[in-house]
Amino acid sequence: MDSTPAVELCDVVKTFGEVTAVDHVSIQIQDGEFFSLLGPSGCGKTTTLRLIAGFEMPTSGEIRIGGETQGFRPPFRRPVNTVFQQYALFPHMTVYENVAFGLQMQKIDRAEIRRRVGEALEMVHLQGMEKRRPKQLSGGQQQRVALARALVNRPKVLLLDEPLGALDLKLRKAMQLELKSLQEHVGITFIYVTHDQEEALTMSDRIAVMNEGKVLQIDAPAELYENPKHRFVADFIGETNFLPVKIVQLHPDIVVELGDGTRLPAGWAEEHLRVGQEAMLSIRPEKINLYEERELSPPNATTARVQGTVERLVYVGTDTHHTVRLRNGDTIVARLQNFYVEEEPWEVGETTYAQWDAAHARVLSKE
């Protein structure tokens, strides 16, 4: 893993006229990694992928694949292959001809092509479909042909542009797991573009969250979810509560203040924040517990606690979402697992104390 990165983007910028699609992006992707570019539509993730593939050329910056600078190299001279969003299978060719295309272009001899196409189709469970045309296949099957057509070339890096987007939910879930195990099996670096955070969390080794052309955070899924370093990341990945706060103290411990003067400890704050600044306190709903007054332990520096009234209960099977109205008018949602059926539930209007471990609370810039 300490060798040269499989793909390296150094300060890459791509503008289309007035619009900056990719804004000073630097990423290092390791060999054999399942790396995702995650963000809402228009965030620049697909453009970034197209820059790596060579369909677009960077306005400035540098892209290296396997240590080699790509410059203005056209797509057909780059050691990467792409699985397109809508598969882009050649409709006038059979499945066999589609998969063999890349090998034919590389002038590989016919016996070898036959063998490798056979292997690739076997890998994606499409043996016996060689003579069919793409339109005679289901969406899932077309997806597999697209995958085989790319992987048969044994690229250094496989680029996938929302490859599961066109499939229905159930098939998508199955394909997620299949893709992941396929990637582990072939050991090729995957760069995966998606707007589906759950998909990215499920499959990726690391994820780059993008918005408005910028990479906001690159981390492993758990790190990204537990320790978002940016308000957009906290908001985009999973659900979170945002409480508007004012920073009271940053050293040695972080303390913030709600509108009504309630002081709360927090675990982490963005580096550029200063005492006295307005900010957002982010806390995930499942980290919050609700207590009655008599259950409370004496206050301490590592526990945050706010008083409020239960306003709404939403039962969703595994959990119940409790909306609590705080004294200053803000609301937070606590997601409590339905662990004991016989447990006495909270009722609307009851006074409650929401409490969480300060380590889970993160102070993020308001923007």
Binding site for other proteins (CB under 8 A): 53-55, 74-76, 80-82, 84-92, 101-102, 105-106, 133-135, 142, 149-150, 153
Sign of the CA dihedral with 219 first, then 181, 191, and 171 last: negative
Q: Which two tokens stand for residue 248?
A: 């009271």
Residue number with CB closer to other proteins (129 or 250): 129
Q: How far is the CB of 134 from other proteins (least distance, A)?
A: 6
* Cα maximum dimension of the chain: 80
Residue number with CB closer to other proteins (58 or 155): 155
Is-cis flag, bond preceding 252, omega within 30? yes
Map tokens 């070898």 to a residue: 112
Q: Which residues contact 42 (CB under 8 A, 6 or more apart)?
A: none
Q: How far is the CB of 86 from other proteins (least distance, A)?
A: 5
Half-sphere exposure of 280 (CA within 13 A, CB side): 19
Residue number with CB closer to other proteins (105 or 275): 105
Residue number with CB closer to other proteins (98 or 194): 98
Residue number with CB closer to other proteins (149 or 230): 149
Q: How far is the CB of 88 from other proteins (least distance, A)?
A: 4
Q: How far is the CB of 279 from other proteins (least distance, A)?
A: 44
Residue number with CB closer to other proteins (137 or 266): 137
Residue number with CB closer to other proteins (20 or 86): 86
Starting at the edge strand that comes first in sequence, how are the strands of the sheet with 60-65 ordered?
19-29, 7-16, 60-65, 68-69
Q: Which two tokens stand for residue 210?
A: 């993008």
Q: How far is the CB of 355 from other proteins (least distance, A)?
A: 53
CA 54/CA 104 separation, integer angstroms: 20
CA 330/CA 163 separation, integer angstroms: 40
Long-range contacts of 125-132 (CB under 8 A, 24+ apart): 126/95, 129/95, 130/94, 130/95, 130/96, 131/94, 131/95, 131/96, 132/94, 132/95
Half-sphere exposure of 62 (CA within 13 A, CB side): 8
Q: How far is the CB of 193 from other proteins (least distance, A)?
A: 14
Q: How far is the CB of 2 from other proteins (least distance, A)?
A: 30
